[in-house]
Structure 1
């Protein structure tokens, strides 16, 4: 079943293909329970398999550390050996690329991101070894593939539509930014994955909590007694799961805490509105003063514990960076906090150092991209480029190009941004809960970066909120497809527009895929992709 848009604040988007000549075909296709089950599970599985092919094909090319792989792959390898990230000699990349991978030192390396993302990369290294570039990237590719499946399932729950879910998953599967970030061993894909898991848990909690509020209120009204809200307030397992997921996201990169903060505020607002819809007295104060503190305690401490657990290797070894800082003369805290164990003093000092590094980072970089230009896709990141000679790497006649450019499918990206801007208007006009939830994902991933427009940041950071842009686009596609009461002409027009869009998006992905996958192409073909001067 697929659903169409309504202006209800609680109902699903409904896009069942009725009211057009497609009815007969669709009805025959899903005419039996078995076929409906096949569509229910087969659609998400198919787009996930498509994502796997696009992410795993020729994954080991190039056999060279790409962009920030020079940090994270080597850090992951030393984590496996030492339990902490250790240093490498200067200019060690050529040796590592050539298979001489054990030249690391015992001295600790100064790293400015938590270890979890590098431990995930280390899983691939542990299986395939550090001499296999496929092993460098396989963990990230699997994570990116699973993210497509999760987004598909999230979209189905959000829109009550398998069709829209499959469309959302398909767009994620073929988008170039998602493909590239799944084919290079850097951290941001893992950040996106865990934040999306947290989003899924928040979505599950919404229904769970609303149902329990209603059941408790109905029971109290039937008995004439005052409702006991304690169990409803404190027993929210999906919220605890969300805390775990956001803690894992922060264990990859600190920007995972943006999602924790954003959805924490979102939950307070949603809980207040749920109480108001049920006609409860003092709904606002109850949400803020009772449910608010409970939500904080269910969500934030769990996230912090998970974040701290990601540093286990640093805690249980003795040679991590700043590991013994507090034991050096003159460094230990004095006064009120002198009782804090030295390891924790060292840890807090390290965290402060990381914060200072991030807020002060303003080093020039040719692919630095101001966050103000991210939504317009002004400066995508070139991860890697090579010009193979004739006869090398499949180049039949030079000049040839090999590139890994982390640029989204332009049609999908710009349409998704436009859809998100429309959703801002729609939220003001209709206050649909789906719209608010989607926009919170976009806001948590994007808005905090507007505080750091002077920092050295990159367009590829946008992978963290790409899933929510795609959900916004899918929501608008649902509106275009129409609802059951539309006329045959309206339904046919909506289906035609959607089909044309999806075909064009697919053609563009095929056109761009060589530049997402380091495929050897003639230089003139590479040049055809320089639509804007800032894309070079």
Structure 2
């Protein structure tokens, strides 16, 4: 990868970082679900596990009173990783500092721009398309809002992107290694090592695959952030084995399916599933080390002779998970910003994270009435184009067997389709941040088709550059238009209303 391959991704990362870190501490109050996760993170700093808060915790916390005496252990339904990551920012910058609450979210949001740009560059073989993927991520409002607020979903997205990138690197590394081993076997001298019958039938074993281990660790951390990472473990595991099957088929291995299953699949399973599981368990270390965290002594109060061979802490944690799963499965309370998965791709009901109306001159308003908002609506040009791009991707995957289209669709499907299994559950548009990077990749795939091949006739290439450049410029300008309602700027009420393109956005 040349200097341009590093320079362009770094430039778009810096652009995204400026958008995320400038005025990160505004508003100075907890917004939306920060009221849960920031306080849980503060509990971790004090105790290593979640504890209950006083009667009016928002008022205390927003006033800078973080010397609050916390109560008994609290029951929560999300694993610890995202909250520990929030806590790291609070540890560095202070628990009473809004910049500290949101620092970690801004860091992973900014880093994800770099990783998405590098992933796109690897997939499409173009530094320009890689930079376009990074820039579209950097300026999109949905990603920006998540990067400027301390919800768990941005951390989930980050670890999934890392896992996907690691599997791409494993794909490249393993194919080079397979080709090298087969060449060595084919060129073996008469007195040297001879290929075995198994080598000829199934292909060689490729040895340790460190990038798969990185992917397994990342998936475990994603699962330790939110359970909605679970489908990704299954989908990414199947995807990487299919890549191995195709690699053995292409190089002429006779029994390439069996060879991939026996010589790659078992290791893939061990690297992704048990390793992710062990990583997930390790994320509960604070809970394990405590004596009075929620449900910590459940096993002692509920003896079960048939399960005595399991450590009491594991049995207690298992019951905790049973209760949490029951909660998630039965979550059906009405919420003003709930939305069905059917509406997510067109942003039918984005979530208002924060809104203050009727602001006066004392709050920076130069007209009769102003508003201040954080709305998780994405850039409409990016999102609506990406929804159309998914249809194109299906044709290229089915019709042309393009592995890149299949990999991107797998990333969307793992994060999107499982939500349709719970039609009665209360769901929100902001869950879509988990698979948004794959929507961006789908869009850039189609922009690459418009751009054309590097060896295309000059006139065709110029037309493609103009069309893609025009799309990117339009997306950036539209983001500049929506930026005030993503970053809590004080604007006249009629300007806020002008940005509410659909009645369902209000």
Are 1:279 and 2:279 counterparts?
Answer: no
For 1:525, the equivalent position in structure 2 comes to 495
For 1:263, the equivalent position in structure 2 comes to 236
Q: Which runs of 5+ in 1 are unaligned?
A: 2-35
Are 1:334 and 2:305 counterparts?
Answer: yes
1:234·1:294 contact (CA, 8 Å) conserved in 2? no
2:177·2:206 contact (CA, 8 Å) conserved in 1? no
Alignment of 1:145-156 (within 5 A): 145-156=110-121
How far, CA to CA, are the matches of 1:80 and 1:230 in structure 2?
51
Q: CA deviation at 1:181?
A: 0.2
Q: CA deviation at 1:230?
A: 9.1
Q: CA deviation at 1:471?
A: 0.9
1:247·1:257 contact (CA, 8 Å) conserved in 2? no
Alignment of 1:318-467 (within 5 A): 318-328=291-301, 331-335=302-306, 337-467=307-437
* TM-score, normalised by the number of residues in structure 2: 0.95
Are 1:89 and 2:54 counterparts?
Answer: yes
2:37·2:151 contact (CA, 8 Å) conserved in 1? yes
1:233·1:294 contact (CA, 8 Å) conserved in 2? no
2:203·2:256 contact (CA, 8 Å) conserved in 1? no
Helix, strand or coil: the match of 1:295?
Answer: helix
How far, CA to CA, are the matches of 1:295 and 1:236 in structure 2?
9
Q: Could you say which structure has the greater relative contact order, defined with CA pairs below 8 angstroms and 6 or more residues apart?
A: 1
Among 472, 491, 495, the alignment partner of 2:465 is 495
Residue deviations 1:21-53 (CA, integer Å, cap 9, x gap) = xxxxxxxxxxxxxxx62x333211111110011
How far, CA to CA, are the matches of 2:5 and 2:238 in structure 1?
33
Are 1:138 and 2:108 counterparts?
Answer: no
How far, CA to CA, are the matches of 2:498 and 2:447 in structure 1?
29
For 2:180, the equivalent position in structure 1 comes to 215
Q: CA deviation at 1:488?
A: 3.0
How far, CA to CA, are the matches of 1:231 and 1:370 in structure 2?
48
For 1:14, the equivalent position in structure 2 comes to none
Are 1:173 and 2:138 counterparts?
Answer: yes
2:117·2:130 contact (CA, 8 Å) conserved in 1? yes
Q: Which moved more, 1:150-159 or 1:178-187?
A: 150-159
Are 1:511 and 2:481 counterparts?
Answer: yes
How far, CA to CA, are the matches of 2:275 and 2:416 in structure 1?
24
CA RMSD, 1 decimal = 1.6
CA spacing shift, 1:354–1:293, aligned 2, 3 Å: same
1:212·1:232 contact (CA, 8 Å) conserved in 2? no
Q: Which runs of 5+ in 2 are unaligned?
A: 189-193
Q: Which moved more, 1:427-436 or 1:517-526?
A: 427-436
